[in-house]
Copies of this chain bind each other. A is one copy, B any other.
Amino acid sequence: MKQKVDQFELKAKLFRGFGDVTRLSILESISEEEKTVTKISEELDQSQSNVSNHLSCLSECGLVKSRKDGKNRFYSIGDKRVVKLLKQGDDILSDIAEGIYSCVNYKK
């Protein structure tokens, strides 16, 4: 049972990667094409450091990968299954969006 809890801790941590608007937006933003930090921060209207922080977190976890090209570093999704998972989120959401929206326990 202890092992299960540890497993769930990791799994929860995985899902938390998708559980923040900024991080999720980053993932969605690079799910089609690789992008630089600057490009992403412009698109999301978020500070460079914030995006960079999230990206380093996502990289460390293996959710995104990156390649360096001169001054730039291009980020992209590290595993196809991540994209698939995000798509499935949409699928569920299409049915329960209203409930999620009205959930007061979480702000945004």
Q: How far is the CB of A98 from chain B (nearest CB, A)?
A: 8
The tally of residues in A whose CB lies under 8 Å from a CB in B reads 51
Render A7-47 as a binary contact track against B, CB cut-off 8 A, 1 for contact: 11111111110111101110010000000000000000000
Q: Complex formed: what's the CA distance from A19 to B13 in Å?
A: 6
Choice from B11, B23, B57 contacting A103 with Cβ under 8 Å: B57
Instruction: Collect the chain B residues with CB atoms within 8 Å of residue A23's CB.
Output: 12
A14 touches B89 (CB 8 A): yes
Q: Complex formed: what's the CA distance from A14 to B78 in Å?
A: 22
Q: Which residue of B lies closest to A81 (CB)?
A: B92
A85 touches B96 (CB 8 A): no
Q: Complex formed: what's the CA distance from A96 to B71 in Å?
A: 28
B92 touches A79 (CB 8 A): yes
Q: How far is the CB of A60 from chain B (nearest CB, A)?
A: 5
A33-91: which have CB < 8 Å to B?
Answer: 57, 60-63, 78-79, 81-82, 84-86, 88-91
